[in-house]
Amino acid sequence: MATVLLVDDSRISRKILRKVLERGGFTIIGEASNGEEGYLSYKELQPDIVTMDITMPVMDGIESLSLIKKENADAKVVMITAAGQKEKMVEALKRGAEEFIIKPFDENEVLETLNRVAEREF
């Protein structure tokens, strides 16, 4: 089953995602609380999928996404967005984001999205 790195500055969001994804059979191999940590963890852990929050301190999710895609053009990054972030979503798509998960999380939707991404071949 696919390995996942969670990048989000909200501990509660990470906790919920971990629970949902583990229930769905994914293996969480790491967590990071800002974009910079997320990028460094990506390089170290080489997860199959990254879930990436957009608004974070130190380095936001858009910047971190860019660095990860520069490191590995085939990296699968799923952005986590909240209402009212349309412009950021467009920017993330341009930079190679795979899919989006909307907060607050819907368990089925999260699993459907991650399963879809996990099955995608490059």
Binding footprint of Mg ion on the chain (CB under 5 A): 9, 53, 55-56
> With respect to Mg ion, which residue has the nearer C-beta, 2 or 6?
6
> With respect to Mg ion, which residue has the nearer C-beta, 34 or 66?
34
> With respect to Mg ion, which residue has the nearer C-beta, 9 or 36?
9
Least CB distance from residue 73 to Mg ion, whole Å? 26
Q: What is the DSSP string of 77-114?
A: EEEEE-TT-HHHHHHHHHTT--EEEESSP-HHHHHHHH
Distance CA 101, CA 35 (A): 17
Least CB distance from residue 88 to Mg ion, whole Å? 11
